[in-house]
Copies of this chain bind each other. A is one copy, B any other.
Amino acid sequence: MASDNIQLDKNGHLKHFLSTEGLSRNLLFDILDHAESFAGVGDRAVKKVPILRGKTIVNLFFEPSTRTRTTFELAAKRLSADVLNLNIAQSATSKGESLQDTLQTLEAMHCDMFVVRHASSGAAHFIASQVSPRIRIINAGDGNHAHPTQAMLDMFTIRRHKPDFTKLKVAIVGDILHSRVARSEIHALTTLGVNEVRVIAPLTLLPSKVESLGVHVFHDMEKGLENVDVIIMLRLQRERMRNALLPSEKEFFVSHGLTEEKLKAAKDDAIVMHPGPINRGVEIDTQVADGERSVILQQVSHGIAIRMAVMAMCMGSPDELSAVES
């Protein structure tokens, strides 16, 4: 994945959004600030801005996901773009067409942006490296590698509650090993200058050398959550675990599931986050998920704003963008 300069144009503006890795603190703040200007659109009577009118955005999903596809589709429609949903897993390559040919065909149709989800790590980068300079790529999740819009909506949610990142202790809890969300969050949190980033997981669910990412490793919830401001629970990716890396869901809940009891270790005003969909009683207790510390549904709302922001920025002329804010 080496350099992520491919994400920027020659003026340093966002061109593709593939990963939070390799982007500057300023650029991440820029994304958050843009998202602020879109956050109000959802509350308007007319939830639509004309920024991407006449643009064609393709949801290019090689791995099915109704939920993520829906958020991108909504974000695109609220920007007034035309949206095509292509579920490649089910259809196009059934005729044996190569990925390259699929991409070139969509380019030839004058599509402007591909929102890519793929089971292979690096797929979105690869596609960004192959398409013509006219096309913009948003990574909607690639293998175990990255899910940058999820990470940025989390940063947005954190900032709304805790404006100064440099003062925060943040714990990410669960299946770090298989989590593209965790990877993207760790890069975003460290880049934004968070005081301390912790990961809490059983040994079997941690990548080797995870400390090299700048995080502190904990295996025990009570110690790991001590005095933190933000708790990010991860979804237990049952469908992604090929081997028996943990004894049972029930045992996982006992050791690493978030309960009111375990939550006491954190600061009194700590917020609880989760990318959804939630496995209640597996990684999080219902009481906590629905409790007053939970900001899980705010994350969903912010997800639309973040996706509108990165779509507009990548496609974007700054002139058009400034129109929203007025």
Contact = CB atoms under 8 A, between A and B. Distances in A.
Contact of A86 (B47, B55, B70, B97): B70
Q: How large is the interface on A (under 10, 10 to 19, 20 to 34, 35 or more residues)?
A: 35 or more
A318 interface: no
B109 A74 contact: yes
Contact of A56 (B74, B102, B297): B74
B109 A277 contact: no
Contact of A47 (B47, B55, B92, B239): B55
Interface stretch (A21-29, A37-45, A140-148, A220-228): A37-45
A98 interface: yes
A91 interface: yes
Contacts of A56: 47, 74, 77
B47 A64 contact: no
A110 B297 contact: no
Nearest to A74: B109
Number of copies: 3
Contacts of A96: 277, 279
A203 interface: no
Interface stretch (A2-10, A190-198, A259-267, A298-306): A298-306
Nearest to A48: B54
* Most B CB within 10 A of own CB, among A44, A47, A77: A47
Contacts of A303: 109
Q: Which 3 residue pairs across A and B have the least CB separation, nearest first?
A: A46-B54, A108-B300, A42-B110
17 contacts: A46-B53, A47-B56, A47-B82, A56-B74, A66-B92, A70-B84, A70-B86, A74-B109, A74-B111, A95-B239, A95-B277, A96-B277, A96-B279, A101-B278, A102-B277, A104-B297, A108-B300
